Structure 1
Amino acid sequence: MDKGTLDKVASNTDLSNEILRNLGEKNSFLDEMMSTIFTDWTSDNDYYQMLCKQIVPFAKGGNVIIIGVGASVLTQKMPNCHNFRLIAPMEFKIQRISRLHGISEEEAERLIIRKQKQRNAFIKGFLNRDVTDPSLYDAMFNNAKCSVDQIADMICYRVLSGEIKG
């Protein structure tokens, strides 16, 4: 989710932005073990449940873009929720991240691999789904084959076409 949405979720709950940003990075076995031993321990799963209770009303309210946090799974059956995935070949990602962050291509590749593993583990761990499953998305766009403007136009067309899901 973007910073504004994170801020709003954090203000609606007792969750800090730091907790929300780092969700899913703890060792899940140890985290769950701690939550069974200590009654006041809040596991990542507990935090994620609190986050979901905030995300779903955002989605139902409409006019919001939710990025990540399993939104494509959480909003799958909701009417007027559209789920999109951006993909690209690794070489494209490496060059883009290297340029954007001013880092070497080797650093960019390590960063991409680490972040993708975290995303995959997050969705698998919390929602038992595969982030690469195309059935989670209404459409997928290849960044290497379409410009940002083209992708935005296609998303707008899809959203504004009036087709109601759910």
Structure 2
Amino acid sequence: MDTALFKYISDRIKHDQMAEDQSQGVNTQSKPIITISRTFGCNAEEICKGLTDHFNKELKASGSEEEPWIYVNKTILNKVSEKMGVDPHFVNNASTPEERDIVQFLMMTFSKDYNTLDSKLNKALRKTTNSYLTRGNVILIGRGGVVFTKNNPTSLNVRISAPFEWRAQRISVTKDISYKEASKLVKEMDEKRDNLMKFLDPDFKSEYFDIGFNRKTMNTQFIVNSIITAFNEKVEDTSDKY
């Protein structure tokens, strides 16, 4: 994408986000949320399943009438694609580089009308994400979730990463491609995910994350237990302050 165009869209989104937050008055401050951002090649499905199982057992044991915990990944992209008039089946089954671009940039680079797409895309993604944030008891996987929850005191923002070589090796095995092809894919996807975060928040900082894990050296159960502990301590600390 042209650099000047990217800067224009980024500036517009930053402005629109502030204006829309003020006009909508969406209150997510008391809603428990966990966001998980991961580098390409770091699977998070098992982690999310472990977290939802744990929190839902707690809700059941306490007799709480709160909404059950759920985790959301492609669901957000599906809803946004529907709002953008793109078939979700096409999005979920992207295979070519061009199709993967659509998945990663949420159809951004293929619109003929950039001037209206930046606002339309931003509103569609924010509206869909805010519906989950308003609900609470949600784990958001990827899709820039941390951008929407960075100021929420009852959210825990998690970053899962691993060394490049380890991720490339895993992708090589899971996709049955050569290590060279896998390395190229990992590099491309890392760049696209970085660009997506910058697209959602031009001032994005790694400090938005509360805690991080190395997927190469830490197993699923350790990460699940650590997230539970960190989340409970952050929520308890928040309740003491307010």
What displacement does 1:125 show?
2.3
* Pair member with larger Rg: 2
CA distance in 1, matches of 2:170, 2:236: 34
Q: Which has the higher strand share?
A: 2
Q: Which runs of 5+ in 2 are unaligned?
A: 1-71, 92-98
Residue of structure 2 equivalent to 1:139: 211
Higher relative contact order (CA 8 A, sep 6+): 2
Q: Which moved more, 1:143-152 or 1:153-162?
A: 153-162
Residue of structure 2 equivalent to 1:150: 222
Residue 181 (structure 2) pairs with residue 99 (structure 1): no
How many residues align structurally?
Answer: 155
Distance 1:14 1:46, change over 3 A: closer
CA distance in 2, matches of 1:54, 1:24: 13
> For 1:19-30, what aligned pairs fall within 5 Å after superposition?
21-24=103-106, 26-27=108-109
Contact (CA 8 Å) 1:45, 1:126: kept in 2 or not?
A: no
Residue of structure 1 equivalent to 2:96: none
Residue 74 (structure 2) pairs with residue 3 (structure 1): yes
Contact (CA 8 Å) 1:82, 1:138: kept in 2 or not?
A: yes
Residue 151 (structure 2) pairs with residue 73 (structure 1): no
What displacement does 1:151 show?
1.0
Residue of structure 2 equivalent to 1:39: none
Residue 137 (structure 2) pairs with residue 63 (structure 1): yes
Q: Which runs of 5+ in 1 are unaligned?
A: 37-41
What displacement does 1:94 show?
1.0
Residue of structure 2 equivalent to 1:109: 183
Residue of structure 1 equivalent to 2:161: 87
Contact (CA 8 Å) 2:76, 2:128: kept in 1 or not?
A: no
Q: CA RMSD in A?
A: 2.9
What displacement does 1:14 show?
5.7
